[in-house]
């Protein structure tokens, strides 16, 4: 865990920390706005943490909604795991449900980006009725896109020794932020913030290597049953829905993941897509206002 932030990071991310012990691991989350059993929950992915939502949290809280932003195990200010199986997606789901239970959240509008999609929709699988509304942003349901099926780099990371060396210890995914984010995060305090977990935990990859290895590449993959279950249940997610999408994203192209989910979700096509033409994978960094307004719009419909 990271109990204290460097001043330059805290200047950009001034939120008071909240902590919960789940299965012997200490997890961090942001909890802003009025106390309520209903909240907007902001779910990050690889290799980021709740810092990704630093410009979104105040806007949503100022609109009158409670906002939670957890750091998953191996990310941000939370503990890192020891065993690989701790990073299985089903375990991320169970721990995040425990965080929401500790916070007293009974219904949630979920902003889901990257692994936030499978984790958020997976929580609804395990706790039906939790999902009050959905904002989907450069995310997926757990199965690989064409990008992930390329021999290098994605399939190479599954190699037991070379994968860990190239993609884990060398911080490759942290460096990838320079490709998936705008110039603001390429150096300075924001870059320090994103690299902080890697720095504090002695170059441990944390969740950053486990997450891409968890992408389901076929029926024999451990994540495949979860991904298929989410796919099968998606048509039952009859909740207010919005899409915000970075259209320059090579990882989850709109024509693959975005359009597919929009057609599969019952209310996915009710509203125009908030397209961010120059936005890449980390759309929150390119269009924080559009992301915040999508959360507020869904919260107004779902929570009142």
pLDDT for position 151:
52
Q: Taking all residues of the chain, what is their mean pLDDT, rounded to a whole number? A: 90
Give the separation between CA 97 and CA 87, rounded to whole angstroms. Answer: 15
3 state SS of 61: helix
Per-residue pLDDT tens for 112-159? Answer: 999 999 999 999 999 999 999 999 999 999 987 777 666 555 555 555
Omega prior to 233 cis, within 30 of 0: no
pLDDT of residue 59: 98
Residue ranges covered by each domain of the chain: 7-303
Q: What is the pLDDT of residue 303?
A: 92
pLDDT digits (tens, 9 = 90+) for 56-104: 999 999 999 999 999 999 999 999 988 888 999 999 999 999 999 999 9
Whether pLDDT at 165 is above 70: no
* Contact (CB, 8 A) for 221 and 253: no
What CATH number labels 7-303? Answer: 3.40.50.1820
Token look-up 């869904």 returns 298
HEC secondary structure over 65-111:
CCEEEECCCCCCCCCCCCCHHHHCHHHHHHHHHHHHHHHCCCEEEEE
- pLDDT of 145 reads 77
- Residue 250's pLDDT band (boundaries 50, 70, 90)? confident
What is the SS3 assignment for 248?
coil
Cβ(257)–Cβ(283) below 8 Å: no
CB count within 10 Å of CB 211 equals 23
pLDDT confidence of residue 60: 98
Burial class of 152 by CB neighbour count within 10 A (0 to 12, 13 to 18, 19+): exposed
Write down the pLDDT at residue 88. 95
pLDDT of 152 reads 57
Residue showing tokens 């999408």: 245
Task: Kindly provide the residue ranges of all beta strands, DSSP E only, lying in the chain, ordered along the sequence.
Answer: 17-22, 25-32, 38-43, 67-70, 107-114, 131-139, 241-246, 274-276
Closest CA to 249 of 282, 274, 208, 211: 282
Is it the case that residue 218 has pLDDT exceeding 70? yes
């Amino acid at each position: 865990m990271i109990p204290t932030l460097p001043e330059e990071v805290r200047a950009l991310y001034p939120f008071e920390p909240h902590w919960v012990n789940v299965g012997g691991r200490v997890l961090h989350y942001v909890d802003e706005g009025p106390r309520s059993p209903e909240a907007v929950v902001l779910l990050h992915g690889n290799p980021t943490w709740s810092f990704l939502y630093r410009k979104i949290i105040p806007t949503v809280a100022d609109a009158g909604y409670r906002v939670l932003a957890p750091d998953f195990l191996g990310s941000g200010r939370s503990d890192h795991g020891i065993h690989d199986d701790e990073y299985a997606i089903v375990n991320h789901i169970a721990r995040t449900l425990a965080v929401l239970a500790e916070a007293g959240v009974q219904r949630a509008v979920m902003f889901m980006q990257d692994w936030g999609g499978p984790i958020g929709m997976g929580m609804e699988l395990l706790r039906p009725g939790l999902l009050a509304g959905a904002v989907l942003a450069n995310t997926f349901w757990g199965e690989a896109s064409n990008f992930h099926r390329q021999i290098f780099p994605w399939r190479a990371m599954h190699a037991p020794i070379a994968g860990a060396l190239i993609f884990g210890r060398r911080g490759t995914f942290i460096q990838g932020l320079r490709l998936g984010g705008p110039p603001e995060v390429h150096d300075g305090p924001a870059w320090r913030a994103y690299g902080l977990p890697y720095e504090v935990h002695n170059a441990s990859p944390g969740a950053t290597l486990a997450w891409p290895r968890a992408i389901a590449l076929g029926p024999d993959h451990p994540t495949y049953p979860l991904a298929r279950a989410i796919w099968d249940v998606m048509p039952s997610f009859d909740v207010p829905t919005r899409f915000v999408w970075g259209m320059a994203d090579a990882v989850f192209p709109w024509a693959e993941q975005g359009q597919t989910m929009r057609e599969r979700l019952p209310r996915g096509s009710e509203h125009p897509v908030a397209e961010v033409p120059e936005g890449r994978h980390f759309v929150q960094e390119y269009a924080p206002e559009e992301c915040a307004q999508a959360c507020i719009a869904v919260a107004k419909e779902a929570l009142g």
